[in-house]
Structure 1
Amino acid sequence: MLNGEKKISRPLRWGMIGGGRTGQVGYKHRTGALRDNTAFQLVAGAFDVDPERGKDFGVNIGVDENRCYPDYKTMIKEEAKREDGVEVVSIATPNGTHYEICKAALEAGLHVICEKPLFFTSKEGREIKDLAEKNGKIVGVTYGFSGNQMLLQMRAMIEQGKIGDIRIVELQYTHGFNATDKAEKTSDAQKWRVDPKIAGPSFVLGDLSTHTYYMSQLIMPKMKIKKLLCDRQSFVGTRAPLEDNAFVLMHYENGAVGRLWTSSVNAGCTDGHRIRIVGSKASLEWWDSKPNELRHEVQGEPIQTLIRGMSYLDEQCNADERLGALHSEGLSDAWANIYLKFAIAIDAKNRDDRETLRNLVYPNIDAGIEGIRWIENCVRSAENGASWVDFE
């Protein structure tokens, strides 16, 4: 169980790039990183493309005004001059900027935590991985939902053979908040998400389903996709060629089949994030809207609902427990869990503790590259007339 005691010798000096007042995700980063105040200390930031607004915001969240910078290049340069300069930065900017910022940070000797999707191409991902390894740095990816500990319970039960051989994988991440084009007209954060030059080759496949795909890989690390078929639509026509809805069929190497639905035009839906794994003996199902519960359905037996924080759960699940079973946990706690693991990974990398890095389960650079590969294969299939393609 986690209670805020330090897991590393001292908090890491941390800076943010993006994630300011008008951003949608910056607060999630800060609540995650600062939940355990023994892991990170926010000391600097380039929070906004508008320097004055960024400085005003930084001061209002407690950052020294002299360390609120107009852009990331200035921040990296000036912080490098300080004995107490940043050691790690989080990148919470639009997709099209991730590669250049990540590269600059690594070249300056900083660890990196980056929003998803990581980059536009897997080639860029491999280049950044090589650079990170050369400089002895960690690159983490903020698949925030993956910090929900009941996903680790699913992983453990599958490893232990509790559901038998996996046959069917059912994934869904949908909502209805973009059922019309209103959001693009009123929100800068939504506007760039449907601009291919900034968002990349996809909208909901990258913005939503990369979360769910990584979570499935976390739960089933031995399951590899052999081929897939992606059919995507732009129901709001101005978003074309980017999709606001997509269906993906998958064939796995072990003979299992899978289906994923991702959408931002599921009108009336506020939280349609679900994972169901069907085995030869039993099934497991988890919903983001009920993150503290896991359904375990054994053929021929009453349905069980496993509750977060209980002693009957696997130790790898309960290691991330924070509040006790009586009290609900949610997305903020999930972000805190992955940020704490980022801190542990960075500390281990600094000490060349290879055993900790080998055994630590967190969204690392390989997870980020796999997410890019997922998007690339889905787009390739869709552009080939929704045809089956080998997973490359």
Structure 2
Amino acid sequence: MLNGERKIARPFRWAMVGGGRTGQVGYKHRLGALRDNTAFQLVAGAFDIDAARGKDFGENIGVSPERCYSDYKTLFAEEAKRPDGIEVVSIATPNGTHYEICKAALHAGLHVICEKPLFFTTAQVQEIKSLAKEKGKIIGVTYGFSGSQILLQARHMIANGDLGDIRIVNLRYSHGFSAAESAEKYSDAAKWRVDPKIAGPSFIIGDISTHTYYISELLLPHMKIEKLLCDRQSFIKSRSPLEDNAHMLMHYDNGAVGTAWFSAVDTGYMGSQTVRIVGSKASIEFHDYNPNELLYQVQGQPYQTLHRGMDYLDASALEDERLGALHTEGLSESWANIYLKFAIAMDAKNRGDEDFLKNFIYPGIDAGLEGVRWIENCVRSADQGAVWVDFK
């Protein structure tokens, strides 16, 4: 169980690029990183494309005025001159900027934590992966829901054979917040997400489906997609060629099949994300709007609901426990869990402990690579007329 005691020798000196006053995700990053004040300390940032607004924002969250910079290049250059300069940077900017900022951060000798999707192409991710290896740095990807510790219970049960042979994978992430065109008319954060120059080749496939796809990888590390079919739509025509709704079919290398639905036009729906895994003996189901529970269904028996924090769970599902059973946890604790894991991974990397990193579970560069690979294959299938494609 976590109680805030340090897991590493000292907190990392941390900065943010983006995530300022008008951003949607910056506060989530700070909640995650600063929940355990033994892991990160926010000391600098280039918080906003508007330098004056970014400086004002930085001061209002406690960053020294002289360390609130106008842009990421100045941030990296000036912090490199300081004996107490930053060691880690989080990138919380629109998709199209991730690649250049991440590359510059690695050349500046920094570990990187980046929003998803990482970049536009797998070729870019492979390049950055090689650069990170050369520089001896960690890249973490903020699949924020994946820190829900009940997911590690699900992973354990699948690996333990409690479900039997996995037959069916069902993924869903839908909401209705973009059901009307007005969503992007009144929100800069929504507007760039439907601009291909900034968002990349997809809207909801990149913006939300990568979260759920990573959870499926977390639960099923022994299974790989062989073929995929994707059908995508732009129900709000002004968003074309980017989609606001998509359906996928998957064939896995063990014979299992999968279905997926991702949508930003699921009018009125507030449920968010569901993952269901069906085996030959039993099934499990996870809902991120109720991340304290895992539904376990054994054929011929009453449904069981496994609760977060209980002693009957596997040890792996209790390591990140913070509040104890009956005390509700949610998204902010999930972010805190993955940020703490980023810190532990970076500390291990700095110490050269590669054996530890081989078996340490966190969303790193390979998770980012697979997320981009997922987007590329979905878009390729859809753009060819919703045909089956080899997953490559």
CA distance in 2, matches of 1:299, 1:271: 26
Q: Distance in 2 between matches of 1:272 and 1:86?
A: 35
1:367 is matched with which residue? 367
Matching of residues 5-20 of structure 1 within 5 Å: 5-20=5-20
The separation in 1 between residues aligned to 2:387 and 2:13, in whole angstroms, is 48
Does the residue aligned with 1:197 lie in a helix, a strand or coil? helix
Partner of 1:276: 276
Matched with 2:46 is: 46
Shift of 1:359: 1.6
CA distance in 2, matches of 1:192, 1:271: 24
* Equivalent position of 1:153 in the other structure: 153
Instruction: Give me the whole-angstrom Cα distance separating, in 2, the residues matched to 1:231 and 1:103.
Output: 33
1:183 deviates by: 1.4
Aligned to 1:334: 334
Give, in whole Å, the separation in 1 of the partners of 2:151 and 2:307. Answer: 12
Distance 1:271 1:320 in 2: 25
The alignment yields a C-alpha RMSD, in angstroms, of: 0.4
Superposed CA offset, 1:237-277 (max 9, x none): 00000000000000000000000100000000112310000
Aligned positions of 1:126-141 closer than 5 A: 126-141=126-141
Query: Is the aligned partner of 1:115 residue 2:115?
Result: yes
Count of residues in Structure 1 that have an aligned counterpart in Structure 2 = 392
Structure 1 residue 355 displacement after superposition: 2.0
Q: Select between 201-210 and 354-363 the one with higher mean Cα deviation.
A: 354-363
Task: Give the aligned partner of residue 249 of structure 1.
Answer: 249
Residue of structure 2 in register with 1:231 after alignment:
231
Alignment of 1:35-114 (within 5 A): 35-114=35-114
TM-score (normalised: structure 1): 1.00
Counterparts of residues 19-38 of structure 1 (less than 5 Å): 19-38=19-38
Amino acid corresponding to residue 356 of structure 1 in structure 2? F
**Greater alpha carbon shift after TM alignment, 263-272 vs 87-96:** 263-272
Deviations 1:105-124 (A, max 9, x none): 00110000000000000000
Shift of 1:210: 0.2
In the TM superposition, residue 326 of structure 1 has moved relative to its aligned partner by 1.7
Secondary structure of 2:74 counterpart? helix
- Provide the C-alpha distance between the structure 2 equivalents of 1:272 and 1:111, rounded to a whole number of angstroms: 31
Report the Cα distance in structure 1 between the residues aligned to 2:119 and 2:222, rounded to whole angstroms. 24
Offset, 1:284: 0.3
Deviations 1:30-66 (A, max 9, x none): 0000000000000000000000000000000000000
1:194 is paired with a residue of what secondary structure? coil
Q: Tell me what 2:293 maps to.
A: 293
Q: Which residue of 1 aligns with 2:170?
A: 170
Query: 1:170 and 1:77 mapped to 2: Cα distance?
Result: 46
TM-score of the aligned structures, taking structure 2 as reference length? 1.00
Q: Which amino acid aligns with 1:236?
A: I
Once the two structures are superposed, what CA deviation does each residue of 1:52-107 show, in whole Å capped at 9, x if it has no partner? 00000000000000000000000000000000000000000000000000000001
Partner of 2:350: 350
Gaps of 5+ in 2: none
Q: Structure 1, unaligned stretches of length 5 or more?
A: none
1:303-342 equivalences under 5 Å are: 303-342=303-342
Q: Could you say which residue in structure 1 is the equivalent of 2:192?
A: 192
